[in-house]
Amino acid sequence: DGGITQSPKYLFRKEGQNVTLSCEQNLNHDAMYWYRQDPGQGLRLIYYSQIVNDFQKGDIAEGYSVSREKKESFPLTVTSAQKNPTAFYLCASSSGTSGRWEQYFGPGTRLTVT
Amino acid sequence: EDQVTQSPEALRLQEGESSSLNCSYTVSGLRGLFWYRQDPGKGPEFLFTLYSAGEEKEKERLKATLTKKESFLHITAPKPEDSATYLCAVLGLQGAQKLVFGQGTRLTINP
């Protein structure tokens, strides 16, 4: 079954700790994305990567970091510098080729920081 | 700057009562408009891509249409299992591959 997996589904951390969220895809997609979703605010883009070993900041990148060492994997680290890290985090991927721009999403990770 | 506005924010219907959701957009040249369905606590599920004005796509009780300024998601004779939040997103010419999402419409179908 092709798809996107995110782990864990729920994550709890104390303030001041860094935490890494996993995202893996077996769709052979070139592009991968991280979004944050807060109640009433829709999806906001954190980082995206169109190719291995390259990534760009999205609209709300402060306090986050990513890496793209493999085509299949795009982990997101939420650092202690992120002021309001509690949110629902969504990973997505797309083919990246012309005319195939639709993004497919993983099941999400709900992060709670106290 | 590309923008997407969805209306209404929330909509309650009786089972079988047809209606439409609206997605208004401004974009610097449209490469695609996308509709997603999202159930509580889950990731969005891709429904449709529309590329140009006049285009229509259907899936079961859902039909998406596109004009130069807005898109409609028509729901015909909905069932309770159609209850979800419906998200609209656009991809413009200047956005690399960055989708811009609306806030969503929360649809509830009462039996």
- Looking at residues A59-71, what average pLDDT do you find? 96
- Three-state DSSP class for B105? strand
Per-residue pLDDT reduced to its tens digit, A35-51: 999 987 789 999 999 99
Query: Is the pLDDT reported for residue A99 higher than 90?
Result: no
Share of chain B above pLDDT 70, in %: 99
Does A102 contact chain B (CB < 8 Å)?
yes
> Is the predicted pLDDT of residue A91 greater than 80, yes or no?
yes
pLDDT at A105 over 70: yes
Mean pLDDT of chain A: 93
CA distance B52 to chain A (A): 12
pLDDT at B63 (0 to 100)? 98
Burial class of A10 by CB neighbour count within 10 A (0 to 12, 13 to 18, 19+): exposed
**pLDDT of the residue at A1:** 62
CA-to-CA distance for B5 and B25, rounded, in angstroms?
Answer: 6
Mind telling me how many Å the CA of B18 is from chain A's nearest CA?
Answer: 25
CA atoms within 13 A on the CB side of A60: 17
For a pLDDT cut of 90, what percent of chain B falls above it? 90
Q: Choose between A73 and A81: higher pLDDT.
A: A73
| B residues 5..64 contacting A (CB < 8 A) | 31-32, 34, 36, 41-46, 49, 51
Residue A111 has pLDDT above 90, yes or no: yes
Q: Does B97 touch chain A (CB under 8 A)?
A: yes
pLDDT of residue B95: 61
For residue B55, give the DSSP letter. Answer: -
B72 at the A interface (CB within 8 A)? no
Predicted confidence (pLDDT) at residue B40 exceeds the cutoff of 70: yes
Mean pLDDT of B61-66: 98
